[in-house]
Amino acid sequence: MISLKSILWWFGLSLDYVVAFGLVALSIYVTLYWQNRFTRIVGMMLLLAGGIIGGVAYGKTGAAAHVYAEWAAANKRAEEEAKARDIAIAKLARDMAEQQTQELSKQNFDLQKQVADYADYVAKNTKDRCRIATPDDVKRLCAIGSGSKDCKGAK
């Protein structure tokens, strides 16, 4: 709903300014067009009231501008602090990821070395220990159902 206050806000005015202007305009009208002593005194009082209200409205506007400037500066500082915090967190995460990658790479290298060492050990030490299947081994294989041609004679 459109109101006088929203229209004034759109123009950047407050109701205080409108009231002050109205009182000053009324005091000028009363002072100039009604020519008796009482109306001149009333006109001067209206002028004084309009000036006071206008001064208060200007003071409120100036104070509000000061408060808005402080608020904007505080918001800017908060944004800069948040940006610096985000950058620090990203750097920390990057450093931790790099450190973990290096640790995992070292572990992988160590494990691969252990596997290679074990393969060399097995190749060197088990060459002569391989055994050849005995007739008992053939009988056991035939008993569990091996379909080998050697099973016909091993009973």
Q: Please write the tens of the pLDDT for every residue from 107-142.
A: 999 999 999 888 888 777 766 666 666 777 777 777
- Cα distances (Å, whole numbers) of residue 119 to 98, 115, 128: 31, 6, 16
Q: 138: Cβ–Cβ under 8 A, 6 or more apart, which residues?
A: 148, 150, 151, 154
57: Cβ–Cβ under 8 A, 6 or more apart, which residues? 14, 16, 17, 20
81: Cα within 13 Å, side-chain hemisphere: 6
DSSP string, 71-83: HHHHHHHHHHHHH
Query: For residue 145, what is the DSSP state?
Result: T
What are the pLDDT digits (tens) for 7-46? 666 666 667 777 777 788 887 777 777 777 777 777 778 7
Where do the structural domains in the chain lie, given as residue ranges? 4-126
Would the pTM of this model clear 0.85, i.e. be above it? no
CA gap 58, 46 in Å, rounded:
18
The reported pLDDT for the residue numbered 136 is: 78
